[in-house]
Chain A
C-alpha cells in the first residue's frame, strides 16, 4: 500500500530498498509545519481516494525508474490527522550515483504532489480550517483545451465564497 493511515516507518522503507548496485540513497520526508502563508497551523488532515491514488503512485514509481538511472523508487503517503512535525510523505530512491538519485526523488515527489488524489486540510491557530489550493487532475478539469496526454496542471481555483483567498476556509465551532 502506498497510502496509509499508519505512521510511516522509514527503517522498513530503507530495508526494503537495499541494493548492492547503489552507492546513493536519497530519502525525502515531507513533514507538517506549523505555519502556512503567515498563519499558524496546529495540525493537518489528509484524505485520499485510495483506489486511484495507490495505482498512480505505483505508476509514478515505475515512470521514475524508467526515466532515471535509479534502481529503486518507493513513495508512501500518510492519511488522517497529523500533528506538527509528523511525516506525511517519504520518497526513498537508490541509484549508483547521487545526482540521479536526487533528481529522481524530486521528480517522483513532484508528480505525487501534483497528480495523486490526496487532499490537505489545514487547521489554524485561530480555530478555522481550510483546504490547500491544489492541482487539477484528469484530462478535462480546469483546462479542457489543453493537449491530449497532459494529465495535470496548476489550478487557479479559488475559494468560491472568498475570491481573494486560495483556500476554502471554515470557521470551526468554538
Chain B
C-alpha cells in the first residue's frame, strides 16, 4: 500500500521536499513509516523523535495503523507567534 507523507517545517527540507509517496506493507503502523523515513533520510531521522503525526485535524499516535492512500502530516516542533 502507499501512504502520502506531507512534510512541514524543517522536515520538508531534510526530506528533500514537502510531499512523498511511501510504499509500505499492509498493516504497517506509523512507527514503521517513521523508521522507513529515517532510513531513507538520515538527517531527518534525527528530528523524527520530536515530530508529531496527524491525519486530518487529529494528532495520531505511533501505533496508528495506516490505511492505503492515507495522507499523513509530519509535524516538527512548532514555532509560531
Q: A77-B80, A134-B79 provided; 7 other pairs, C-beta below 8 A?
A: A52-B58, A52-B75, A112-B80, A134-B77, A135-B77, A140-B61, A170-B13
Number of contacting residues on B, CB 8 A? 29
Whether B81 pairs with A138 at a CB distance below 8 angstroms is no
Q: B73 contacts which of A49, A54, A119 (Cβ < 8 Å)?
A: A49
Q: Which residues of A contact B (CB under 8 A)?
A: 30, 46-49, 51-52, 54-55, 77, 88-89, 109, 112-121, 131-142, 155, 157, 160-161, 168, 170
Q: Residue A160 contacts which of B14, B54, B58, B78 (CB distance < 8 angstroms)?
A: B14
- CA separation between A112 and B80, bound complex, in Å? 7
Q: Is the CB of B73 within 8 A of A52?
A: yes
Note all chain B residues with C-beta closer than 8 A to A48. Answer: 8, 80
Residue in A54, A55, A113 whose CB lies within 8 Å of B81: A113
Task: Decide yes or no: A136 and B81 within 8 Å by CB, A52-B58, A141-B50, A168-B13 being known contacts.
Answer: no
Chain B residues within 8 Å of A, Cβ to Cβ? 6, 8-10, 13-14, 43, 46-47, 49-54, 56-59, 61-62, 73, 75-81
Q: What are the nearest 7 A-B pairs in CB distance?
A: A138-B52, A118-B80, A134-B79, A119-B9, A134-B77, A160-B46, A113-B81
Is B43 a contact partner of A161 (Cβ separation < 8 A)? Answer: yes
Interface centre among A119, A120, A121 (most CB of B within 10 A): A119
A sample of 30 cross-chain residue pairs with beta-carbon separation below 8 angstroms, ordered by A number, consists of A47-B8, A48-B8, A49-B8, A49-B54, A49-B75, A52-B75, A77-B80, A113-B78, A116-B80, A119-B10, A131-B76, A133-B77, A134-B76, A134-B77, A135-B77, A135-B79, A137-B77, A138-B59, A140-B52, A140-B62, A141-B50, A141-B52, A141-B77, A155-B77, A157-B76, A160-B43, A160-B46, A160-B47, A168-B10, A170-B13
Q: Which residue of A lies closest to B63 (CB)?
A: A140
Interface centre among A133, A139, A140, A170 (most CB of B within 10 A): A140
When distances are taken between beta carbons in the complex, the residues of chain A under 8 Å from B52 are 117, 136-138, 140-141
Q: CA separation between A155 and B59, bound complex, in Å? A: 18
Query: B residues within 8 A CB of A141?
Result: 49-52, 77
- Give the complex CA separation of A138 and B76 in angstroms: 10
Minimum Cβ distance to chain B for residue A170 (Å)? 7
